[in-house]
Each structure stands twice: as structure tokens, then as C-alpha cells.
Amino acid sequence: MGHAQLPVVPSGLGATMRPDRWWVQPAIVFLLLSTFIVYATWAAFQGEHYTHGPYLSPFYAPELFGASSHAWFGPRPAWWPAWLVFSPALLILPFPGIFRVTCYYYRGAYYKAFWADPPACAVGEPRKRYRGEAAFPLILQNVHRYFLYVALGFLFLLATDVYKAMWFTDPVTGPTSFGIGVGTLVLLANVTLLGGYTLGCHSLRHIVGGYLDQLSRFPARKRLYDCSSCLNRAHMRWAWTSLFSVAFADLYVRLCSMGVWSDWRIV
């Protein structure tokens, strides 16, 4: 099937007849994602100020090994290489990180913003060769659903962290009592937004029922599919709000731990 290209086609990076500011959206995506990546990497390597009272930063949750009382298996393990900086977040962050990197929404967003592939709709690209996700390395994006399974587990653990964030130990007398602080609400908002993002994942929508052509024969799956589809319709909004919330939750715990902010007890 021969296919002659239109003789007037402008080609090359940014070539377009669009008069609007098409570059604004990819520029904003580039800026926001870059800021998040820089902050998350910096925060992950700190290895301190990730807890404050009953609060645990979501970047460090679950804390498998570490110095705080939240650690499941005690301090830094002996098998950890001496030459490698240790931080509890390094054992955790790769999983939600890859979940987001392979997310269908983020894929489309960062292909535009970081690879200019294309930079925007109907705007020229810098490179001629293209394999998309049909070949290595981007064919590896198909692992998304496996990281979804891990993310669902993390979601449950983050929800238990919110519960734990409701129990405050008196530093003087010692007993633990129920309470709600601003930090509790920050962690609650974070897990809610993460829930909206994770439970509306395209892969989850498929797994719970989307793969069936006669879904009405399975009423429970139909309900799950409808719920996931409902969240999926705003997947982009969930993706961004949960990205902000997880970074802000870490920042909140960090600044409280450093004494820059004071956590206000509501109850």
C-alpha cells in the first residue's frame, strides 16, 4: 500500500500549523514530573525524618528495616552492602515508582513531555525511527499489572498506617490514646487519593471484569467493573492528585519531624 505524504507537510520537532500554545501542557507535565522525581529521590536517600509520633511517611511505608519503631524486622540488615547508602525507602519506592511509570495515563503524558513522541497532538517529532511499545524496551510496559498487585498491597498497608496514626503515645506518662491530628488527616487524604488512582487503574478494570464479553452473567464482577470504570473516567485527575498528596504527606511528616512545622491535634 503505497502512501505518498502530503507535499506541504512540515516535519521535524515542533513543526505544526497550530497557532495555539500547544507546548504549555507538555511543559507543565515535564516540570511537575521532574519536580516530583527530584524530590522523591532526595527524600528517599535521606533515611531520616520520615516518622513523627504515630505518623510514617508514605515514601517509607511499609518500613521493613529501619531505625524507627515502625520497622517490621528491626534495623538495617547485615546483608545490606556496606558501600551502598541505606534508607528504608530504597526497599519500597521502586514498586509504586514502576507502577506509575508503567501506568497507561503517565505513559501517554511522559512520552509527550519527555520524549516529544509526539510533543503534542498534530505537532512534529524529532526522530524518524519509531517502534512504540511493540519492541524492547517499551514492550516491558506490559508488566504494569504485576506492579498493580503490589500497589494494592501497599494501599492496604497505607490504610493501616492511617489507623495507626490515630493512636498517640503520651511522651511523658506513656499510655496510648485515640486522637486525630492534622497529620492523620494528611495521611487519610493521601490513602484516599491513592485508592482512587489505584482502584481506577486500567489493568484492574480489565482484570475484575473487562476481559469478559458477557459481564452481566457475573453480577459481582459487573459491580466491580462498574466501580473501577467510574474511577477510571477521572484517572488523570486521580493520578495527579495522588502524586501531589504522597509528596505532601512525606513533606508534612518530614517538616514535623524536623521541628519546622508543629502537628496540630484536632481530637
Partner 1 sequence: MATETLKPDLADTGASEELEPPHRQPDPPATATFRVWRGDREGGQLVDYTTSVSPGMVVLDAIHQIQADQANDLAVRWNCKAGKCGSCSAEVNGMPKLMCMTRLSELPLEKPVTVEPMRSFPPVKDLVTDVSWNFRVKTRIKPFRPRAPDAADGTWRMTQPDVDRVQEFRKCIECFLCQDVCHVLRDHQLQEEFIGPRFLVHVAALEMHPLDVEDRVADLRRAHGIGYCNITKCCTQVCPEHITITDNAIIPLKERVVDEFFDPLGRVLKVFSRGGKA
Least distance CB 158 / partner 1 (angstroms): 24
Contact 145, 195 (CB under 8 A): no
Give CA–CA dist 192/195, Å, rounded: 5
Least distance CB 4 / partner 1 (angstroms): 4
Give exposure, 183-193, as e/b (b: 16+ Cβ within 10 Å): bbebbbbbbbb
Q: Tell me whether residue 40 or residue 103 sits nearer to partner 1 (CB atom).
A: 103
Q: Tell me whether residue 145 or residue 237 sits nearer to partner 1 (CB atom).
A: 145
Residues that bind partner 1 (CB under 8 A): 1, 3-9, 11, 16-20, 104-105, 107-108, 111-112, 117-118, 121-122, 124-125, 128, 130-135, 138-139, 142-146, 202-203, 205-207, 210-218, 222, 232-233, 235
Q: Tell me whether residue 64 or residue 152 sits nearer to partner 1 (CB atom).
A: 152
| Secondary structure class of 176 (helix, strand, coil) | strand
Q: Tell me whether residue 149 or residue 163 sits nearer to partner 1 (CB atom).
A: 149
Contact 192, 199 (CB under 8 A): no
Output the CA–CA distances (angstroms, integers) from residue 263 to 114, 123, 186, 254, 257, in the order listed.
38, 48, 11, 11, 9
Least distance CB 35 / partner 1 (angstroms): 22
Q: Tell me whether residue 72 or residue 149 sits nearer to partner 1 (CB atom).
A: 149
Least distance CB 231 / partner 1 (angstroms): 12
CA neighbor of 101 nearest in space, from 27, 14, 40: 40
Least distance CB 247 / partner 1 (angstroms): 24
Contact 185, 162 (CB under 8 A): no
Q: Tell me whether residue 223 or residue 265 sits nearer to partner 1 (CB atom).
A: 223
φ/ψ (deg, to 5) at 246: -70, -35
Least distance CB 233 / partner 1 (angstroms): 8
